[in-house]
């Protein structure tokens, strides 16, 4: 469990984050969504204990990342957006070096390396030098390293960037496994469609402030359905009928009824005697639209 409590951080006179507060629950995947420069990385770095906030605190399983840093940082792992390693080292050797630092004797570290590198799909590439890894391979390698100490809490910063579809699917399964194990997972992302498929909760940040925290089922309720309709030769009396079901937008012979409060069968029944329906279907706005409608008045 990660408890972010009223953290603020400025770089010179740039206020990167301002009074940021939210929880990352155990057994849940929380998405952290915001535009470039919104403050995601700053929040994540403070939570990982890599930089200090000007105000506020972060509790990792109850331990302050500032006052009890040694204990707190043992149970949280941070996978940065651009992981940096000793690029001249071979993957296996670097893994053993990091595992050694975390207390694993070489023979055990080797065994763990084989297990975790194959778990992230890097079997066969253990002897390669890290500088010869592709960006996606580096991400996978960073994920393998993050599992060495088997922490309870995970912070993934833009982990989907630079991954191919197979890599994205891999991360998805990986995060779901962590969730099943009861871990707390926070991941920042710009790929909203992925957030939609993976997250249990979404934290929206805009200009350094948290603008909304929503459970995914709330997002789904927030996302109002619309009806899309195309008919031949529409006229003004059709517009009148459709207005009974919501807010109508017309473009040529196509209509969108926003905040649709009717039933698709009922609509098609009531107009089919007078109009030829070319297309009729329900639609739902995407998380992207939800995001922009939330921040829309705060731009
Ligand atoms: N080391 C730094 N020095 C000065 N300003 C910084 C530094 N790091 C971040 N900032 C500023 O703080 C603000 C928040 O940046 P941050 O990196 O946290 O955003 P982000 O949400 O991670 O953005 P992105 O989606 O582009 O990764 C931005 O205005 C950024 O320019
Ligand atoms: Mg960032």
Query: What pLDDT shows up at residue 184?
Result: 98
Q: What is the pLDDT of residue 281?
A: 93
Residue 96 contacts by C-beta under 8 Å, 6 or more apart in sequence? 104, 106, 109, 110, 113
Mind listing the pLDDT tens digit for each residue in 119-132? 888 999 999 999 99
Among 179-183, 223-227, 236-240, where is mean pLDDT lowest? 223-227
How many A from CA of 188 to the centre of ligand 2?
A: 8
216 pLDDT more than 70:
yes
Cα 193 to Cα 31, 81, 112, 264, distances in angstroms: 11, 19, 34, 26
Q: What integer pLDDT is reported at residue 214 of this predicted model?
A: 92
With CA atoms as reference, report the closest residue to 188 among 52, 80, 73.
80
pLDDT at 65 over 70: yes
* 251 CB near ligand 1 (under 6 Å): no
234 close to ligand 1 (CB < 6 Angstrom): no
Residues lying with their CB under 5 A of ligand 2, a single-atom ion: 40-41
Determine the pLDDT at residue 186.
Answer: 98
CATH for the stretch 224-297: 3.30.70.980
Q: Please state the rounded mean pLDDT for residues 121-149.
A: 93
Domain 2-75+151-220 has CATH 3.40.47.10: no
Q: Give yes or no for residue 47 CB within 6 A of ligand 1.
A: no
| Structure confidence at residue 18 (pLDDT) | 98
Over residues 26-52, the mean pLDDT reads 96
Find out whether the beta carbon of 34 lies less than 6 Å from any atom of ligand 1.
yes
Range in 21-25, 245-249, 287-291 with the lowest mean pLDDT: 287-291
Between 132 and 162, name the one with better pLDDT: 132
Strand partners, 212: 204
Percent of the chain exceeding pLDDT 90 equals 76
What SS3 state is found at 127? coil
Tell me what the pLDDT averaged over the chain comes to.
92
Residue to mutate (ligand 1; options 7, 41, 160, 187; most atoms within 8 A of CB): 41
Determine the pLDDT at residue 298.
62
User: At residue 204, does pLDDT exceed 80?
Assistant: yes
Residue 162 has pLDDT above 70, yes or no: yes
Per-residue pLDDT reduced to its tens digit, 94-119 = 999 999 998 999 999 999 999 999 98
Q: What is the mean pLDDT of residues 237-260?
A: 93
Q: What is the edge-to-edge ordering of all strands in the sheet holding 63-64?
A: 14-24, 2-11, 55-60, 63-64
Atom of ligand 1 nearest to the CA of 208: 14
Is 299 a residue whose pLDDT tops 80?
A: no
Say if ligand 1 is within 6 A of residue 45 CB. no
- C-alpha 40/C-alpha 160 separation (Å) is 14
Centre of ligand 2 to C-alpha 221, Å, is 29
pLDDT of residue 219 exceeding 90, the answer is no
Could you tell me if the CB of 36 is within 6 A of ligand 1?
yes
Is it the case that residue 210 has pLDDT exceeding 90?
Answer: yes
Q: Kindly report the backbone phi and psi dihedral angles of residue 177, in degrees, each rounded to the nearest multiple of 5, phi listed first.
A: -65, -45
| Ligand 1 neighbour 40 (Cβ under 6 A) | yes
Average pLDDT over residues 292-296: 78
**Confidence band for 190, pLDDT divided at 50, 70 and 90:** confident
Rounded distance between C-alpha atoms, residue 94 and residue 129, angstroms: 9
Q: What is the pLDDT of residue 287?
A: 78
Average pLDDT over residues 207-232: 88
Question: Which tokens go with 263?
Answer: 């039933």
Q: Give the pLDDT of residue 39.
A: 97
Q: What's residue 13's pLDDT?
A: 95
């Amino acid at each position: 469990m990660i408890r972010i409590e009223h953290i603020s951080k400025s770089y010179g006179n740039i206020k990167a984050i301002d009074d940021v507060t939210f929880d990352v629950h155990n057994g849940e995947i929380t998405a952290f969504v915001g535009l470039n420069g919104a403050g995601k990385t700053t929040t994540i770095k403070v939570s990982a204990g890599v930089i200090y906030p000007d105000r506020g605190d972060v509790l990792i399983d109850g331990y302050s990342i500032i006052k009890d840093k040694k204990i707190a940082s043992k149970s949280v792992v941070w996978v940065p957006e651009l992981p940096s390693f000793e690029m001249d080292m071979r993957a296996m050797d670097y893994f053993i070096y990091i595992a050694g630092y975390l207390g694993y004797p070489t023979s055990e570290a080797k065994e763990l390396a084989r297990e975790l590198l194959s778990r992230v799909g890097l079997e066969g590439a253990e002897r390669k030098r890290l500088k010869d890894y592709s960006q996606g391979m580096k991400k996978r390698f960073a994920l393998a390293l993050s599992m060495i100490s088997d922490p309870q809490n995970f912070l993934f910063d833009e982990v989907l960037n630079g991954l191919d579809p197979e890599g994205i699917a891999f991360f998805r399964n990986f995060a779901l496994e962590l969730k099943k194990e009861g871990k707390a997972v926070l991941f920042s992302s710009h790929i909203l469609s992925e957030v939609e498929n993976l997250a249990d909760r979404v934290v929206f940040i805009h200009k350094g402030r948290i603008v909304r925290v929503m459970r995914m089922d709330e997002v789904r309720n927030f996302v109002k359905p619309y009806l899309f309709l195309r008919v031949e030769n529409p006229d003004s009396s059709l517009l009148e009928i459709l207005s009974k079901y919501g807010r109508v937008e017309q473009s040529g012979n196509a209509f969108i009824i926003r905040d649709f409060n009717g039933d698709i069968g009922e609509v098609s029944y009531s107009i089919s005697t007078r109009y030829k329906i070319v297309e009729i279907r329900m639609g739902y706005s995407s998380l992207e639209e939800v995001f922009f409608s939330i921040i829309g008045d705060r731009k």
